[in-house]
Amino acid sequence: MNVSPGETEIAADQAEARPSSLARLLIDRDEAERLAAVLKAIADPTRLQLLRLIERAPAGEACVADLTDCLGLRQPTVSHHLKVMTEAGLLTRERRGTWVWYAVDRAGMGRVHEILDVARAA
């Protein structure tokens, strides 16, 4: 379909003149960035494995040493992934002596479930 430059300008002016009914459905930009960071944090196979391991650990928490042994990865690699997920609000961390223990942050996981529920409803 060919549209002349004049028609494009008129369409743009009309769009600006009336408020979009979709605009009220937008989420706040800060909220969108926060949700994107959460999704980015779990959009990695190793992080998904770590999250599942921690979530299903017998006591609901796991030590870094246990996670490295289980995945066969070096401690700095596992620590990096855990840091990313902790900063995204998906995990909590607690230092006990020389070891750090991680548990799933239920509020953070609730945000992931909310995102997925919205996607599922669409």
Helix (H, G, I), strand (E, B) or coil at 59: coil
Query: For residue 63, how many other CB atoms are within 10 A of its CB?
Result: 14
Specify the pLDDT at position 48.
Answer: 93
Per-residue pLDDT in tens (0 to 9) along the chain, 122 residues: 565 666 666 655 555 656 677 777 777 888 888 888 888 998 999 999 999 999 999 999 999 888 988 888 999 999 999 999 999 999 999 999 998 999 999 988 888 877 777 655 55
- pTM comes to 0.70
What pLDDT score was predicted for residue 69? 85
Question: Per-residue DSSP letters for 4-38?
Answer: -HHHHHHHHHHHHHS--TTGGGPPPHHHHHHHHHH
